[in-house]
Amino acid sequence: MVNTRRMLVTAVETLDEEKVIRLVKMGLNKGISPLDLIEDVHQGMKRVGVLYERENYYIADLIMASLIFQRVLTLIPITKESASEQKPQVIIGTVKHDIHDIGKNIIKGLLRSRGIGVIDLGVDVPPDVFVDAVQETGAKILGLSGLLTSSYEVMREIIDTLNKSNLRSRVQVMIGGMVNEDVKEYVGADYWVDDCAYGVEVCRHILNIDVNSCSNTMVGVV
Ligand code: B12
């Protein structure tokens, strides 16, 4: 199992699409958790990012990596029910100037599949759109996704605006993407997440959902 997972990370890193698909199918057959497989692909994507930074890879390779991830997600259906009838408890979006949305979409799918209502504002979302959505829906969680360094400033601006609008105490702010504790402190968020399973746990904790009421069946194929 460990071997399959290690090989999966490398197959993503080397952009070997067919091998990635084979390993994901093999992993699912062996009973490896879909969330673990998603995290392996995620780790592989980080390596792709490093190779891009070192100029071994080009933008076309980033695009290829995202296409591979999208294909993997078709093997791992993470949304098993529509959220349309669910009361929105989480507002989510990728912040202004940033169009990375794979991680955001995974979190959205996982939350919805656990019966948590999510409004997805999309990508490149201006600060006031987030703030208006918090105001209008009364959602308890605001999830901001950002993978660019420039996204930190936008996240900070959103939280500043929430403060100025007296909405900050009404909502818990989670940031995800290329973030860490320092970014969380800088922007003034409540939580930072770079692992989808942990993100779901944090949301359930905030919403006070009994952990035992949601067995580990969020992914259709588990
Ligand atoms: C794929 C990719 C792309 C794709 C994105 C396709 C898409 N639809 O998203 C494309 C090709 C479009 C792209 C474009 C660019 N990219 Co790009 N891209 C990546 C890459 C390789 C992978 C990102 C990814 O999808 N990872 C997989 C997902 C699952 O991971 P994730 O988003 O982190 O999500 C996980 C967690 O963070 C968390 N999460 C995410 N969001 C949220 C939100 C909430 C609320 C919660 C709770 C959790 C959560 O859950 C997820 C699952 O665990 C990264 C490398 C890296 N280190 O990540 C570079 C990277 C982010 N890109 C980078 C760059 C530079 C660019 C471009 C500027 C390139 C260019 N010259 O044009 C453009 C920018 C476009 C823009 N304006 O946004 C840099 C950013 C560097 C920086 N310091 O700012 C990176 C880090 C690569 C690098 N090392 O240089 N990119």
Closest Cα partner for 72 from 50, 95, 105, 120?
105
pLDDT above 60 (res 135): yes
Residue 213 pLDDT class (50, 70, 90 cuts): very low
Q: Tell me, what's the pLDDT at 114?
A: 86
CATH number of the domain at 188, please.
Answer: 3.40.50.280
Query: What 8-state DSSP symbol labels residue 125?
Result: B
**Residue at 82 is within a domain:** no
Q: Which of 41, 75, 109 is the last residue of a domain?
A: 75
The token pair that represents 92 in the structure block:
């989510």
150 and 209 part of one domain: yes
* Alpha helices (H) in the chain, listed in sequence order: 2-13, 17-30, 34-53, 59-75, 102-113, 127-137, 151-164, 181-187, 196-206
CATH number of the domain at 54, please.
Answer: 1.10.1240.10
11 and 115 part of one domain: no
How many Å separate Cα 59 from the centre of its chain? Answer: 21
E-strand stretches of the chain: 88-94, 117-120, 141-146, 172-177, 191-193
121 and 94 part of one domain: yes
Ligand 1 pocket test: pick from 102, 141, 147 the residue with the most ligand atoms within 8 Å of its Cβ: 147
Mean pLDDT of 192-212: 84
pLDDT above 80 (res 120): yes
Q: Tell me, what's the pLDDT at 131?
A: 97
**Residue at 219 is within a domain:** no
Domain hosting 48: range is 2-75
49 and 23 part of one domain: yes
Question: What is the 95 CA–ligand 1 centroid distance (Å)?
Answer: 12
Ligand 1 atom nearest the C-alpha of 100 is 9
The token pair that represents 91 in the structure block:
């507002």
Contacts of 150 (CB under 8 A, 6+ apart): 97, 98
Q: Which of 75, 101, 128 is the last residue of a domain?
A: 75
- Give the model confidence (pLDDT) of 25-80 as tens digits: 999 999 999 989 999 999 999 999 999 999 999 999 999 999 999 999 899 876 55
- Please count the other Cβ atoms lying within 10 Å of the Cβ belonging to residue 98: 23
Q: Which of 29-33, 76-80, 155-159, 180-184 has the lowest mean pLDDT?
A: 76-80
**Residue at 80 is within a domain:** no
Q: Tell me, what's the pLDDT at 209?
A: 74
Number of independent structural domains in the chain: 2
Residue 86 pLDDT class (50, 70, 90 cuts): low
The tokens 């699409």 sit on which residue? 17
Rounded CA separation 69/67 (Å): 5
Residue located nearest, by CA, to atom 91 of ligand 1: 62
148 and 204 part of one domain: yes
Mean pLDDT of 2-25: 95
Query: β-pairing, 88-94 with 117-120?
Result: parallel
Q: Tell me, what's the pLDDT at 84?
A: 52
Q: Do the beta carbons of residue 111 and residue 200 sit within 8 Å?
A: yes
Residue located nearest, by CA, to atom 90 of ligand 1: 53
Q: What is the pTM of this model?
A: 0.92
Q: Tell me, what's the pLDDT at 214?
A: 37
Ligand 1 atom nearest the C-alpha of 39 is 53
**Residue at 63 is within a domain:** yes
Mean residue pLDDT across the chain: 89
